[in-house]
Amino acid sequence: MNAPLKQHLIDPEICIRCYTCEEACPVDAITHNEDNVVVDASKCDFCMSCIAPCPTGSIDNWRVVLEPYSLEEQMEWMELPEQAEIAKPEGSDQDGGDIEALEDSVERLLAEAHAGAGGKAKAPATATKPSINLYNLKKPATATVQGNYRLTSEGADSDVRHIILDLGNQHFPVLEGQSVGIQPPGTDENGNPYLPRLYSISSPRDGERPNTNNLSLTVKREEHGVCSNYVCDLKKGDEVKLTGPFGATFLMPNDPQANIVMICTGTGSAPFRAFTMRRQRTAGEGGAMMRLFFGARTSDALPYFGPLKKVPDTVLEKHLVFSRAEAVEKEYVQDRMLKQKASLAELIRADDTHVYVCGLKAMEEGVEAAFQAIADEAGSDWHAIRDAMRESGRYHVETY
Amino acid sequence: MLDLINVAYDTQIPNNVGLSSDKRVLKALEKWHPGYINWWNDLGPDGFQESLVYLRTAVSVDPKGWAKFDYVKMPEYRWGILLAPQAEGRTIPCGEHVGQPAWQEVPGEYRNMLKRLIVIQGDTEPASVEQQRHLGKTAPSLYDMRNLFQVNVEEGRHLWAMVYLLQKYFGADGREEADDLLRRTSGSEEAPRMLGAFNEATPDWLSFFMFTYFTDRDGKMQLESLAQSGFDPLSRTCRFMLTEEAHHMFVGETGVGRVIQATCEAMKEAGIDDPYDIEKVRALGVIDLPTIQKKLNLHYSLSLDLFGSEVSTNAANAFNAGIKGRYQEAKIDDDHQLHSDTYPVIQLKDGKIVWEDVPALSAINMRLRDDYVRDASGGVKRWNATIEKTGVQFEMKMPHQGFYRHIGVFADANVDPDGAIISKEEWDAKKDEWLPTKADGDFIQSLMKPVWEPGKFASWIAPPRVGIDNKPGDFEYVKLHMA
C-alpha cells in the first residue's frame, strides 16, 4: 500500500481563475485549462508562495490521498472532493477520520495521546481547517529563540519554561491545540539521531502578540530528558529545527458562543493558554464563558499562575487547585469538578459544550470517574454522552 | 544597497523604487500628494473616511508580503509605488524590436504613444472610485462594504502607479498630465473622464458587481497587455497591479454569483419554479434572474466598447513599437511580429455578420477582445452551475458581441442578443426585454438598504463561502464611525 500523501488542491467553486497563483509559484506546479486552475502534486513542494496572493482563499485546500489526483481529474472538477477516509499507518489503532500527521511515528504518538477519549478523535465542527506536516525531518523549519523564561518560581521543585520561537519569514501556520516536533541535536548511544518530541503550542495562531510570526511552547525540564533539557537550556538567538505542525482534532471551535471546559495539569495547560488568548482576541468579553480546571502541587509550581489571575472572570472561570499547598486541604482537579457538579452536569448536556483534557496520562482516570459520578447523579449515561460529544468533535483528550 | 522587494517607508510615499535617493521625482510626487488626498476626501467613499476598514496593504512585492491585513482609516491607507521585481535580461517581447533588451528609459520615438497609453490607463483608476463613492451607504453587509473599499483604495494606488511613471519619465508634460488626472471627474460636464463607460454612474450594488466583473476585466486585459510592454518600468508596474486586480475580479464574480444564489434559494424555498414570474420573485426581496440577465447584457456590451475598433491602426502601431503586447504574449508561439499572419475579425457586410481574415497586426484589439470574452465566460459558467445546483431552470448568457454596441463595426447596427440583425422598429419594440428599464432600476434601488450588523446580509445576496483573510462569518470587517 502507498503511504498517505498530502496533496495541495484548489477549490474550483471559489477560484476565479485569475492565475495569480500560477505567476507566484516558483516551481511552476500550477497550471490551468479554461475551467480550472490545478496543482501538480509531483511538483508542489508546499512552499506556500501562492497562499497569500490568492484573492479568494480557494488555494488553501489540502487532501490526504493514497494516489494523488491527476491534473486531468482536477480540470474536470466542478467541486472539490471530500476528504476520503484513509486507513491509518500501521501501528495506529484508529481506522480513519482526520489525519493528524503524515509521519507514522508522530501519527502514532498522537493516536496514543488521544486514546483516552474512548474512540476516534474528531475536530470540532467550527474549527478552522489545520495545516499539517508542512515541515518534516528532511525539510524542517528553522526557528530562532526569542526568549526563554522560567514560569515556576526558583524555589519550586519543577522547572517549567515558556519558550518563544520566532519563525522569521517562514510560513508556519498553526492553530491552538496543535503541536510541533523538536529533534534534539546529536545521537543516542547507538549512534542514531534522537527521536523528535512533540510539544503543544501555547500561543494563539496569530502569535504571542497579534500578527507576530512566532509561537510559544511550555516545556518542563525532565531529569535525564534529552529533549526537554535541550529545549529548557536554549538561549535567546539559538536556532531550533521544527517539524509539524501536527494535530487535526484537538482544536478549538471558532464559534465564540461555544462553551469550553478545559481540564489540565502541569504543562497540559499549554493549549489552554492558547485557547484563552484566542478567545480573548476574537471575542473580547463577548464570548461564552470558558472554564479551566487546573491542578498543580503548589501555586508557585503552576505555570502561568500570575498571568492567569489577570484574565477577567467574565472570560474564564478559573479553578486552580493544589495538591501540596500549605495550610489547605489537598485537592485534585477531579475533586473540584465534583464540587462544580451542578454546572458541569448542565454543561455536558448542552450541545455547544466542548470538553478538553490535557496533561499526564495519570489524570485521565480521575477525570473520567468525576464525569461518571456527575452524570450518574444527574441520571444520565456518561459513556453515551461522551461518545456523542466525541462523535461531534466536542470531547478531546490529549495525555502522555 | 537598494532593497527592491520590501517597501521602504523612509519617505512619505511607501515605495520599492528607491524614491529617497531620487530627489527630483520625490519632490514632484510630494507636491502631487496633497492634491491626491484632497481628491480622495472630496470624491472618494462618501461618509466612511473615519471608519476603520480591514484592508490589505502590501509590505513587499514578493508573494509573502503583499497581503498584510489590518484595520486602517482609508485616508491613512499607505498608497505607494510598487513595481514587480525587475526580471534580469528581459527583452522586448514583440514588434519590430523584438529580442532587443527591454527599455529602462522611454524610447524617444514612442514617447507620445507611451504617454497616451499611460494617461488613458491612469484616468480609469480614479474614475471608478468616483463612480462608486455613494455605494458604501447602501452596503448589503460589512463584508461587501469592506470589499468595495478595498477595490477603491487599490484603484487609488493604481492611479499612483501611473502618476509615478508620468512624473519619473515624462518631465514637465508628465507633471501636467498627472495634475489633469485629478482635474477630470467622472460624469463632469466640463472635464469628464476620458472613456465613456467611466462617466456612467454606478447606481446600485448589482451594477457595481457587474462593473467589477465585466468592466474591470477590460482593465485587467489592458494591464495584461501593458505588462507585456517593452518599456520595462510600465511592465513591472502593471505586473504588480494585476495581483491587486485579481481581488476586483473576485468581488465581481462572487458578488454576482451570490446575488444569483440568493434569488434561486429564495425561489426554491417559496416553491416558485418559473423564473419569469417576475412579480412573485421580486416579492421575495430578491432580484429576478431575467433582470440580472439584462444587467449582464448592458455591462458586457459597454465593456466590449472599451476595446475600441476591431481593426485599428493605433493598436497595430503600439504592438509594432513593442510598447503594448498581446494577452500572455510570452506564451504565444509565433514570431511576435505578425508580418504575414492573419486573424479572423467579425464584420458587417451587406447586412450580414461575417468573419474575415485580416492582417493580424491590424486585429490586435479584436484578439484582445476575444481573449476577454473567453476570460469573462468562465464566471458565467460558474453562475450557471450555481443555478443548476438549486434546480432552477435558467441559464445566464453573454449576448452576441454585436448587441447594443456603440463602437466598432456594430455601432450603427441593431443586433439582438442572439446575433440576429433586426430593424430599428423591432429593436425599439424589444429593447426593454434585453436591457434594464427605469422600472427595473427602481426596483433594484428599492432593495438597496444598508445591512451593517456583523455577519448579516441583505435578503438579495447570499453570504460568501469563505471570509476575507479566512475570517469567521461574523467578523466586523468595517468598524463604522459615522461622521
CATH number assigned to the domain comprising residue B420? 1.10.620.20
**Pick from A18, A24, A53: CB nearest B249:** A18
Whether A131 is catalytic is no
- pLDDT tens digit string along A3-42? 677 788 999 988 989 898 998 898 999 999 988 999 999 9
pLDDT digit string, tens, across residues B13-22: 888 898 989 9
Report pLDDT for A86: 61
User: What is the average per-residue pLDDT within B272-289?
Assistant: 97
- Relative to beta strand A316-322, strand A290-296 is parallel
The answer on pLDDT for B2 being more than 60 is no
Comparing CB atoms, the residue among A23, A52, A254 nearest residue B472 is A254
Whether B413 shows a pLDDT value over 80: the answer reads yes
Q: What pLDDT does A89 receive? A: 46
Segment A143-167 mean pLDDT = 90
- Domain assignment present for residue B410? The answer is yes
Check if B64 contacts A (Cβ < 8 Å): yes
The answer, yes or no, to whether residue B482 has pLDDT greater than 80, is no
Does position B379 have pLDDT exceeding 70, yes or no? yes
Least confident of A79-83, A278-282, B171-175: A79-83
User: What is the overall mean pLDDT for chain A?
Assistant: 88
Q: Name the 3-class secondary structure at A229.
A: helix
Considering the domain boundaries, does residue B11 fall inside one? Answer: no
Closest residue to B63, CB basis, from A17, A53, A56: A53
Note whether B384 contacts A: Cβ–Cβ < 8 A.
no
Pairing of strands A353-359, A259-265: parallel
Instruction: Return the closest-CA partner of residue A295 out of A228, A362, A201.
Output: A362
What pLDDT is attached to residue A93? 40
Interchain proximity A18–B250, CB inside 8 Å: yes
What string of DSSP letters covers B223-251?
HHHHTT-SBHHHHHHHHHHHHHHHHHHHH
Q: Which of B59, B66, B82, B250 to mutate to test the interface with A (most CBs of A within 10 A)?
A: B250
Strand pairing report for B342-349 and B352-359: antiparallel
Q: What is the mean pLDDT of residues B340-350?
A: 94
DSSP state of B401: T
Contact A55 B249 (CB under 8 A): yes
Q: Å from A24 to nearest chain B CA? A: 6
A57 and B254 in contact by Cβ < 8 A? no
| B83 has a pLDDT exceeding 80 | yes
Q: What pLDDT is recorded for position A287? A: 86
Domain ranges of chain A: 5-86, 141-246, 259-399
Q: What pLDDT score was predicted for residue A1? A: 44
- Which residues from chain A sit within 8 angstroms of residue B249, using beta carbons? 16, 18, 55
pLDDT at residue A154 in the model: 84
Q: What is the pLDDT of residue A13?
A: 87
**What residue in A sits closest to B66 (Cα-Cα)?**
A53
Helix axes B111-131 and B313-321, enclosed angle (nearest 10): 120
Distance CA A30, CA A9 (A): 10
Determine, for residues B250 and A23 on separate chains, whether the beta-carbon distance falls below 8 Å: no
Residue B260's closest CA among B380, B440, B173? B380
User: Would you say residue B272 has pLDDT above 60?
Assistant: yes
> Can you say whether the dihedral through the CA atoms of B134, B137, B138, B142 is positive or negative?
positive
Cα separation, B462 vs A59, in Å, equals 22
CB-nearest to A78 from B68, B375, B385 is B385
- Residues of A within 8 A of B379 (CB-CB) are 16
Q: What is the pLDDT of residue A3?
A: 63
Residue A110 has pLDDT above 90, yes or no: no
pLDDT score for B4: 60
**Is residue A199 annotated as part of the catalytic site, yes or no?**
yes
Looking at the partner chain, which of A14, A23, A35 has a beta carbon nearest the beta carbon of B466? A14
Note whether residue B114 is domain-resident: yes
Residue A133 has pLDDT above 50, yes or no: yes
pLDDT tens profile B316-339: 999 999 999 999 998 899 999 998
| Backbone CA torsion sign across B472, B244, B130, B366 | negative
Catalytic residue among A25, A227, A264, A358: A358
Contact B250 A128 (CB under 8 A): no
Q: Give the mean pLDDT of B374-396.
A: 95
**What is the pLDDT of chain B when averaged over all its residues?**
93
Alpha-carbon distance values, A274 to A178, A201, A218, A278, A308 (Å): 10, 7, 11, 6, 12
Closest CA to B379 of A35, A20, A55, A79: A35
Residue A91 to residues A105, A245, B65, Cα–Cα distance (Å): 9, 21, 42
- Between positions 235 and 254 of B, the ones with CB within 8 A of A are 239, 242-243, 245-247, 249-250, 253-254
* Residues in chain A within 8 Å Cβ distance of B66: 52-53
Q: Is residue B4 part of a domain?
A: no
More confident residue, B288 or A257: B288
Q: What is the pLDDT of residues B421-430, one digit of tens each?
A: 999 999 999 9
- How many interchain CB pairs under 8 A, A with B? 66
Q: Which pLDDT band, with edges at 50, 70 and 90, does A182 fall under?
A: very high
The reply to whether residue A211 touches residue B70, judged by beta carbons under 8 angstroms, is yes
> What's the rounded mean pLDDT across residues B77-101?
93
- Nearest by CB to residue A56, choosing from B63, B239, B250, is B250
Contacts of B243 in chain A (CB under 8 A): 20, 23, 53
pLDDT at B1 over 50: no
How would CATH label the architecture of A259-399?
A: 3-Layer(aba) Sandwich (3.40)
Residue B176 lies in a domain: yes
Nearest Cα of chain B lies from the Cα of A159 at a distance, in angstroms, of 38
State percent of chain B over pLDDT 90. Answer: 84
How does B32-63 read in b/e, with b if 16+ C-beta sit within 10 Å? Answer: beeebeebbeebbbeebeebbbbbbbbbbbbb
Q: Is the CB of residue A311 less than 8 Å from the CB of residue A242?
A: no
B386 CA to chain A: closest CA distance, Å? Answer: 9
The answer to whether position B420 is within a domain reads yes
Q: What secondary structure letter does DSSP report for A353?
A: E
Residue in chain A lying closest to B371 (CA)? A34
The answer to whether B331 faces chain A, any CB pair under 8 Å, is no
Catalytic, A69? Answer no
| Per-residue pLDDT, A306 | 81
Inspect the interface and report whether the beta carbons of B470 and A55 lie closer than 8 Å: no
Q: What is the mean pLDDT of residues A105-120?
A: 81
Partner residue opposite A16 with nearest CB, options B62, B64, B379? B379
CB contact under 8 A, A24 and B63: yes
pTM confidence score: 0.73
On chain A, the residues whose CB falls within 8 A of the CB of B467 are 57
The Cα A76–Cα A34 span in angstroms is 10
pLDDT value at residue A326: 80
Checking ipTM against 0.90, whether it exceeds it is: no
Q: Which of B382, B474, B476 to mutate to probe the A interface, most A CBs <10 Å?
A: B382
Contact B374 A78 (CB under 8 A): no
pLDDT digits (tens, 9 = 90+) for B208-240: 999 999 999 999 999 999 999 999 999 999 999
Higher pLDDT, B22 or B470: B22
- Judged by CB atoms closer than 8 Å, whether chains meet at A57 and B467 is answered as yes
Q: How far is B229 from chain A (nearest CA, A)?
A: 17
- Tell me the CATH class for A5-86: alpha beta
Q: Which domain holds residue B242?
A: 19-479
Reported as a single tens digit per residue, the pLDDT across A87-96 is 544 444 444 4
Within 13 Å of residue A168, how many CA atoms lie on the same side as its CB? 11
Does residue B13 belong to any structural domain of this protein?
no
Kind and range of the H or E run holding B183: helix B171-183
What is the rounded average pLDDT of the residues A70-74? Answer: 95
Q: Do A17 and B242 touch (CB under 8 A)?
A: no
B67: contact with A, CB 8 A cutoff: yes
What is the average pLDDT across A224-235? 92
Q: Which of A50, A58, A107, A199 is catalytic?
A: A199
CB pair distance less than 8 Å for A49 and B63: yes
CB under 8 Å to B331, separation ≥6 — which residues? none
Query: Which residue in B135, B160, B147, B200 sits closest to B39, CA to CA?
Result: B160
Q: What percent of chain A has pLDDT over 70?
A: 96
**pLDDT(B191) > 90:** yes
**Higher per-residue pLDDT: B478 or A118:** B478
- For the residues B364-391, what does the mean pLDDT come to? 95
pLDDT for the residue B5: 67
In this complex, do A16 and B250 lie within 8 Å of one another by their Cβ atoms?
Answer: yes
Give the total number of structural domains in chain B: 1
Q: Which of A131-140, A349-358, B38-47, B186-195 comes out lowest in average pLDDT?
A: A131-140
B136 within a domain of the structure (yes/no): yes
Instruction: Decide if A52 and B63 are in contact by the 8 Å CB cutoff.
Output: yes
Among A143-157, A352-366, B368-382, B469-483, the minimum mean pLDDT is found in B469-483
pLDDT at B122 exceeding the cut of 90 = yes
Instruction: Among 2.40.30.10, 3.40.50.1820, 3.90.660.10, 3.40.605.10, name the CATH number for the domain at A141-246.
Output: 2.40.30.10
Q: Are A13 and B63 an interchain contact pair (Cβ–Cβ within 8 Å)?
A: no
